[in-house]
Amino acid sequence: MEIIQAVRFSPDGTALRIIDQRALPGKLVERDLRTLDDVCDAIRTLSVRGAPAIGIAAAIGVAVIAAAAPEALTHLEFRQSLAHAAETVRGTRPTAVNLPWAIDRMLAVLGREHVNRDALVAALRVEASAILEEDRAMCRAIGEHGLPLIPGRARVLTHCNAGALATGGMGTALAPIYLAALEGRDVSVFACETRPLMQGSRLTAWELERSGVPVTLLADSMAASLMQRGSVDLVIVGADRIAANGDAANKVGTYALAIAARHHGIPFYVAAPTSTVDPRTATGAAIEIEQRDASELRAIGGIATAPSGVATYNPAFDVTPASLITAIITDRGVFSAPYHFEATRP
């Protein structure tokens, strides 16, 4: 089974290389990003998306920008320009906690004493590489912790994309599924299309089909009736931010799935790295929800599906209360209520 690499350094190390997810599933397009504008635009436009992948892209982006900074800058100007670039990247998307987490790590490196500019650039590259490698190990660990939750002949429902395209490794929500498949278990997936940007149909279905895992696509509105028929054994989704009490922000539509799963007695799991748990956010009510442009809701693929001037409500995420979550699968273990995430900290 080949696991794709969605975000990484380019082979020559001079750029952030991403799979441009806007082109999927029609074309597999890789882009090399070298400037602050390119990195910010890629994150803002969802060319790269998924909380862990965004964090990695931010870190590698800062490292690449540092290496390409004008030689004429004084050491102070160099540090100031990098700090500004890092904060600019931080501001591209507000909900996923991995983005500010990665930026804070890069700024911590920037704040250290270095003998010269070359040493600082090298240290930033080392830190970005560490974030990427940690993410790959994190994905594997989530898969291993979640694997015992996958029964034989499991039929798993997922929403949006929390696979390899959303991370630096094999994914979060899809990691236990990939490991189950690698073990030869008979596991299959139902993927919600995930309106309005179709991350389920464009990305998850493409990724799973490419890897050989059986996948069935369904419209978001069909999920509850599928549960009612007894065709779903468990639900696994990712998360962009998890509050200290276990409330989880994920792609809009997740909350409805959690309600339906509870009604039908189906386990509902959230899979996310430790870095997605935000101890500074007490509850889900404090999570800032990104509001996306109306054009995403009024059209699909450039074809109008609604009147051009109709009012829209287009939040990118919703918050699932901890009371509806069976357990949260992290790289440091499986946690259930009451959530004591202190155990996930080093």
Residues of the chain with pLDDT under 70: 1, 343-346
Reported as a single tens digit per residue, the pLDDT across 228-275 is 999 999 999 999 999 999 999 999 999 999 999 999 999 999 999 998
Q: Which of 133, 138, 58 is nearest to 100 (CA)?
A: 58
What is the CA angle 128-275-83, rounded to 5?
45
Pick the catalytic residue: 240, 247, 278, 318?
240
Give the per-residue pLDDT at 121: 96
Do the two domains 7-140 and 144-344 of this chain adopt the same fold?
A: no
**Assigned token pair, 57:** 């892209």
Q: Which CATH number fits domain 7-140: 1.20.1250.20, 1.20.120.420, 3.90.420.10, 1.10.287.1080?
A: 1.20.120.420
Q: Which of 205, 216, 215, 132 is nearest to 169 (CA)?
A: 132
Give the per-residue pLDDT at 95: 83
Count CA within 13 A, CB hemisphere, residue 24: 26
Please tell me the pTM assigned to this model.
0.90
CATH number of 144-344: 3.40.50.10470
Give the per-residue pLDDT at 346: 43
Q: Which of 265, 260, 278 is nearest to 339 (CA)?
A: 278
Active site residue 37: no
Query: In 1-12, which positions are buried (b, 16+ CB within 10 angstroms) versus exposed (e)?
Result: eebebbbbbbee
User: Can you give the residue ranges of every domain in the chain?
Assistant: 7-140, 144-344
Give the per-residue pLDDT at 100: 94
